[in-house]
């Protein structure tokens, strides 16, 4: 099979996704990461559309890219004017990117209704624009917008549009499923008819949208039929339902279809880059995304965990490390002996599979989860429970009591104060602190009471706080589960608390968090 090149449009098409707004600096950082990943082309934006994209192309000239080429994106000239007088075409040239991609109309509906011009003029617009850009010394790709819809309505004219692009000197022709409504069997049939019309040195690509949920499948089918360029975005970002997801396409091509679009070292960066771009886009990562999602190689059922420990291939279609991901075994009410053994091994405890304490631990976990606890996101609480069951004591202080006062007077702001009384050995500490709400006040009071004795606590901070009502039908008497995520700057851990009182549940999770953090600090010293 011929070489297949990856064309990333995260910075242009991906940025049109609802909720995403990349800064110029974001786009430059993403471009650098995409180059590290090993894509061939990075579409940076439309220089004629906004000042931000103009700035990006100015600064992108200074990027040191090892492989990727930056592409500017735009449209064919407007109807009834020359390319020399078309402002958008001039801006494309002035962007000074080595590659320019322009789109034109392939569907007669758009020619007559959107452009309000004739079929012949549309063909001239394609021809003139590409010749103008080629004369400027650029590599030029032609995106045949709405190609599949146009083909299904009038295949003869649609083919004329891409032939016009080829005859004008386009270096590549990309068939676009712009509305995302084409299904894989249709893509297969149409590519079978298009591929023989052009020489093998021309890049024939596909640009698929995911409105029917098959953008990845359509891209893979196109490659099977001879496409040698795939356009897509990281994490499937894009307008409406998104674009073809390169995070799925890349490993499917390389690992399943024998098309090595990246080296093995490059593909190991895929998960990291997926999460990096989510972070810059301020989007919550999709844990269930194939290959790169946090849950992609996560096992919860006891039978699954047992089989995975013996032979990972039993419940994993690829090795997680090849895409930079990792295997996770969860502890839950569905856990078995294998789950506990795996998690214990992860934290450095080599248990005998026949150890009778394992049965007790499993039962305690199941009883706790029946009450409302959840250890999937509370790794630290589980480890504290495990070590307690094994007879290891991790107890830096004992609670004598706490009190929280929330006061509201007239139109004044709410004032919250927490008082805690702790015992560290024979020493009693009784402190009070204010905070932005009861949990923050409790956290402040707890730290105030302990930081003199445990100065390392200053490096531990609350990272995230989640509350879930477990049995809504009980209304204000319902159980509350609190999940807290904490960090010391280099390590992140989760703890859990459950009660019908949100303050008590929060206190439990806070105490576990601090005890675990202190224990980790102490362990590093030894």
3-state secondary structure (DSSP) of residue 475: helix
Per-residue pLDDT tens digits of the chain, which is 526 residues long: 578 999 999 999 999 999 999 999 999 999 999 999 999 999 999 997 788 899 999 999 999 999 999 999 999 999 989 999 999 999 999 999 999 999 999 998 889 887 888 999 999 999 999 999 999 999 999 999 999 999 999 999 999 999 999 999 999 999 999 999 999 999 999 999 999 999 988 999 999 999 999 999 999 999 999 999 999 999 999 999 999 999 999 999 999 999 999 999 999 999 999 988 988 888 888 989 999 998 888 777 656 656 666 666 777 789 989 999 887 766 554 455 666 777 777 767 777 777 778 777 777 777 777 788 777 678 888 888 888 878 887 888 888 899 999 888 777 788 899 999 988 888 888 899 998 888 889 989 998 988 888 888 888 888 888 888 876 566 555 788 898 888 888 788 889 999 988 899 999 999 899 999 888 887 776 5
E strands, 436-479, are: 461-469
405: β partners: 417
For residue 107, give both structure tokens: 């569907």
3-state secondary structure (DSSP) of residue 261: coil
Q: Are the C-beta atoms of 177 and 148 separated by less than 8 Å?
A: yes
DSSP 155-166: HHHHHHHHHHHH
How far is 100 from 45, CA to CA, in rounded Å?
10
Residues 173-212: pLDDT tens digits? 999 999 999 999 999 999 999 999 999 889 999 999 999 9
pLDDT, position 522: 78
The CATH-assigned architecture of domain 398-525 is 2-Layer Sandwich (3.30)
Please tell me what DSSP assigns to residue 332.
S
Q: Are the C-beta atoms of 416 and 437 separated by less than 8 Å?
A: yes
Cα–Cα–Cα angle for 285, 479, 360, rounded to 5 degrees: 85
Q: Annotate 222-244 with b (16+ C-beta within 10 A) or e (fewer).
A: bbebbbbbbbbbbbbbbbeebbb
pLDDT, position 409: 75
How far is 421 from 445, CA to CA, in rounded Å?
9
Compute the half-sphere exposure of residue 127: CA atoms within 13 Å on the CB side of its CA: 11
Rg of the chain over all Cα atoms, to the nearest angstrom: 29
> Where do the domains of the chain lie?
5-281, 298-371, 398-525
How far is 62 from 469, CA to CA, in rounded Å?
52
pLDDT, position 35: 96
How far is 9 from 230, CA to CA, in rounded Å?
10
pLDDT, position 467: 86
| Domain boundaries 5-281, corresponding CATH code | 3.20.20.70
Tracing tokens 């897509």 back to the chain, one arrives at 232
pLDDT, position 234: 97
pLDDT, position 120: 93
């Amino acid at each position: 099979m011929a070489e297949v090149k990856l064309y990333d449009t995260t910075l242009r098409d991906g940025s049109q996704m609802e909720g995403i707004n990349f800064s110029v600096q974001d786009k430059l950082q993403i471009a650098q990461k995409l180059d590290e990943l090993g894509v061939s082309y990075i579409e940076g934006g439309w220089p004629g559309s906004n000042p931000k994209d103009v700035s990006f192309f100015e600064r992108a000239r200074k990027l040191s890219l090892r492989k990727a080429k930056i592409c500017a994106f735009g449209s064919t000239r407007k109807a009834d004017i020359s390319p020399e007088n078309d402002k958008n075409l001039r801006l494309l040239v002035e962007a000074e990117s080595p590659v320019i991609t322009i789109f034109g109309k392939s569907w007669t509906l758009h020619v007559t209704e959107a452009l309000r011009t004739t079929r012949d003029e549309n063909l001239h617009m394609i021809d003139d624009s590409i010749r103008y850009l080629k004369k400027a010394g650029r590599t030029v790709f032609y995106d045949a917008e709405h190609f599949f819809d146009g083909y299904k309505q009038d295949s003869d004219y649609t083919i004329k549009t891409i032939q016009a692009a080829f005859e004008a000197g386009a270096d590549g022709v990309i068939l676009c499923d712009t509305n995302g409504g084409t299904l894989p069997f249709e893509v297969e049939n149409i590519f079978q008819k298009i591929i023989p019309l052009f020489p093998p040195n021309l890049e024939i690509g596909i640009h698929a949208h995911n409105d029917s949920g098959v953008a990845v499948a359509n891209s893979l089918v196109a490659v099977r039929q001879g496409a040698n360029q795939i356009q897509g975005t990281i994490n499937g970002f894009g307008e409406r339902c998104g674009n073809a997801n390169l995070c799925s396409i890349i490993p499917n091509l390389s690992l399943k279809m024998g098309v090595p679009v990246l080296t093995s070292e490059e593909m190991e960066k895929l998960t990291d880059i997926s999460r990096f771009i989510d972070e810059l886009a301020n989007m919550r990562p999709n844990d269930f995304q194939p290959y790169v999602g946090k849950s992609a190689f996560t096992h919860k059922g006891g039978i699954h965990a047992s089989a995975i420990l013996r032979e990972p291939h039993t419940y994993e279609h690829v090795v997680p490390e090849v895409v930079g991901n990792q295997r996770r075994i969860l502890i839950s009410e569905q856990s078995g002996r294998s789950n506990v053994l795996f998690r214990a091994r992860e934290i450095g405890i080599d248990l005998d599979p026949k150890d009778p304490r394992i049965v007790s631990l499993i039962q305690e976990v199941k009883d706790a989860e029946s009450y409302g606890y959840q250890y999937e996101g509370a790794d630290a609480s589980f480890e504290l429970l495990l070590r307690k069951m094994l007879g290891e004591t991790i107890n830096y202080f004992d609670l004598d009591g706490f009190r929280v006062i929330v006061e509201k007077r007239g139109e004044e702001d709410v004032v919250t104060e927490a008082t805690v009384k702790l015992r560290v050995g024979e020493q009693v500490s009784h402190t009070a602190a204010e905070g932005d709400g009861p949990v923050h006040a409790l956290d402040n009071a707890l730290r105030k009471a302990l930081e003199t004795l445990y100065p390392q606590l200053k490096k531990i901070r609350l990272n995230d706080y989640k509350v879930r009502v477990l049995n809504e039908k009980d209304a204000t008497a319902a159980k509350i589960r609190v999940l807290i995520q904490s960090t010391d700057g280099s390590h992140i851990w989760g703890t859990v608390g459950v009660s019908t009182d949100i303050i008590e549940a929060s206190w439990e999770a806070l105490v576990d968090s601090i005890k675990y953090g202190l224990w980790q600090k102490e362990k590093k010293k030894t």
